[in-house]
Amino acid sequence: MNVRDLYKRLLSYYGPQNWWPAETPFEVVVGAILTQNTAWRNVEKAIENLKREDILDPASILETPGDVLKELIRPAGFYNQKAERLKRVCQLIVECGGLEELFSRSLNELRSTLLSVNGIGPETADAIILYAANKPTFVVDRYTHRVFTRLGIWKGGYDYEGIKKLVETEISPDVSTYQEFHALLDEHAKRICRKTPLCESCPFKDVCPSVSF
DNA sequence: ACCCAGGGTCATA
DNA sequence: TATGACCATGGG
């Protein structure tokens, strides 16, 4: 079992995922911040609040008082830090003259720019690049590590850049493919047991080496 | 009552 | 450089 076979098998088993539903690229940016260590259903409530107040754009969020913003995004948790993080990204966007301008940079320029913002780490940056800017970077997360480890594809601890490089080496850069693969890994990880080494209902039972995790 | 979720930062050793 | 504490709500 290698990375490419895993992708093919996930795709044929679960089918294409309609991941990261959002009406605009900026909504993806906001969602990427709000979903940090947080269930997506809680993020939806926060985004709904922002839409209801009609402030789902960089300028409006910057104009909104911190206390008000915190209250609106409360359901997403960590609302104190996330309100500040949202403001910092919006600040960057405005300084660049808009999302289009920011996203016109090369993938690597864009990634290092995003990473320079306090509150945006590697996963959040890659999610923005892949799902909002539509550039081919692979998004790693703990689910990716869990599934890879379970199947013996990755040995060792959680190394974000290492796992990312592995996938990008095995699978040539393609936006749709990277988007699908990440989505499939997450959906699959949610369906398998977290602690049990081997899950009886796992569709990968035949190739799972039963690695304890 | 406990565990965790579509992470990241900061302090400590 | 490598762990650990911390952030906070909502659902199982």
**Closest alpha carbon to A132 in A87, A169, A174, A102:** A102
pTM of this prediction?
0.95
pLDDT score at A2: 94
pLDDT score at A212: 39
Q: Confirm whether any atom of chain C, the nucleic acid strand, is less than 7 Å from CB of A122.
A: no
The domains of chain A, with CATH numbers, are 3-17+139-191 (no CATH), 25-131 (1.10.340.30)
**Is residue A50 within 8 Å of A33, Cβ to Cβ?**
no
Instruction: For residue range A20-44, list pLDDT tens digits in order.
Output: 999 999 999 999 999 999 999 999 9
Q: How far is the CA of A21 from the C1' of B6 (A)?
A: 12
pLDDT score at A173: 98
Q: Confirm whether any atom of chain C, the nucleic acid strand, is less than 7 Å from CB of A88.
A: no
* A200 pLDDT more than 70: no
**Is residue A142 within 8 Å of A171, Cβ to Cβ?**
no
C chain positions with any atom within 7 Å of a protein CB: 3, 7-11
Q: Confirm whether any atom of chain C, the nucleic acid strand, is less than 7 Å from CB of A39.
A: yes
Instruction: For residue range A115-136, list pLDDT tens digits in order.
Output: 999 999 999 999 999 999 999 9
C-alpha span between A70 and A58 (Å, rounded): 15
- Smallest CA–C1' separation from A159: which nucleotide? C2
If you average pLDDT over every residue of chain A, what do you get? Answer: 93
Compute the average pLDDT of residues A41-60: 98
C-alpha span between A87 and A78 (Å, rounded): 14
Compute the average pLDDT of residues A99-103: 98
**Closest alpha carbon to A86 in A59, A105, A112:** A59
Q: How far is the CA of A118 from the C1' of B10 (A)?
A: 12
Q: How far is the CA of A81 from the C1' of B12 (A)?
A: 22
Number of C-beta neighbours around residue A83 at 10 A: 24
C-alpha span between A193 and A49 (Å, rounded): 34
Number of C-beta neighbours around residue A191 at 10 A: 11
C-alpha span between A77 and A35 (Å, rounded): 9
C-alpha span between A99 and A12 (Å, rounded): 35
Compute the average pLDDT of residues A190-213: 66
**Is residue A194 within 8 Å of A131, Cβ to Cβ?**
no
Q: How far is the CA of A54 from the C1' of C3 (A)?
A: 42
**Given pLDDT bands bounded at 50, 70 and 90, which one contains residue A208?**
confident
B chain positions with any atom within 7 Å of a protein CB: 4-10
**Is residue A25 within 8 Å of A133, Cβ to Cβ?**
yes
Instruction: For residue range A67-97, list pLDDT tens digits in order.
Output: 999 999 999 999 999 999 999 999 999 999 9
pLDDT score at A18: 82
Query: What proportion of chain A, given as a percentage, has pLDDT over 90?
Result: 87
Residue with CA nearest C1' of nucleotide C10? A42
